[in-house]
Structure 1
Amino acid sequence: MSSDTQAVQGAAPSQPSIGGDGVGGSQSNVLPIDSSVELLDFSKVVENIIGEIKAVGVRIANLESFVESYRGNDLPSIKQNIEEIRKGLQAVWEDLTNVRRETSIIRLVGIVGLWKHPLCANNREGICMAWRLNNDGEFRSLYGDQSVVELDGVKRVRVSIAYHLCGLCPLFRPRHG
């Protein structure tokens, strides 16, 4: 047994396998995993970014019409408006960079999960036998109703669909033979 496997399996033998409202492994010496962690809704982030871009576009159009009709000596006000627009565009750029980075991380976790899930001894015909779900709402909302299956009264993850879980799973055990 590797030291990594010992660390996961021997983490806290005195802890119960399932937390009161969390998710835990099926082995009795695995710590409960908190299922209250929420994922970032990228569609809302992208909608907010698009809204910010549209608002900046309106401000630019207003500034252009202001400059066209400009007859006075208000150069500091124009400079201030241009600086505010520059700051707004910088904030939008930073948001887009963060979304792109997080999307890349999610894609990488998916690639690792696709590679790991068929190699794991806990995977039985596409269903993870190591994880038990007390609350399956998050999986169903992300991956659909088919991502959760109930076996012998226990809700389990169908990792053939929700393979991202395998990409970060501390309960991975390689198949032997």
Structure 2
Amino acid sequence: MTTPSIPSDRKIVLVTGASSGIGEATARHPAAAGHHVVLGARRTDRLALLTKELSAAGHSAEYAELDVTDPAGVHAFAEGAPARHGRIDVLGNNAGVMPLAPLAALRVAEWDQMIDVNLRGVLHGIAAVLPSMLERRSGHVVNIASTAAHRVDPMAAVYCATKYAVGARSSC
């Protein structure tokens, strides 16, 4: 997929988990403000539709398949933007999953998935963009947690814990 040349006054904004919900909304905002968005998620059919919609509205967008649980894949996603546009200005670290069940259900595989996506995925994103941002002495990482980071819901205890960890990591 070819992308237009991005003027230097426009930011290059990467958004993980951009195929729906908060990630989609997060992508729409900078696109509408005139910045170039690079959308990443597992559901590329939804990313393609969003990219088409944004482009039809005159915004600048592109997408790539992204599984934040794969460190090499996250690095490839992040390395693609500077290869095409010279830099990354912002990472919207948003990807997340929220299976609901009481702890007593012992859905350990779901717990592992939430930890992998919601916490490790955020760390993989940081690891992928931070070196180039430090080198340029410019850039922002926006880790999107949840209001669930500030409470514990009985059906979402592990989700709340992962989002609390993201919030704690972001306070540093």
When normalised by structure 2's length, the TM-score is 0.28
When normalised by structure 1's length, the TM-score is 0.27
**Structure with the bigger percentage of strand:** 2
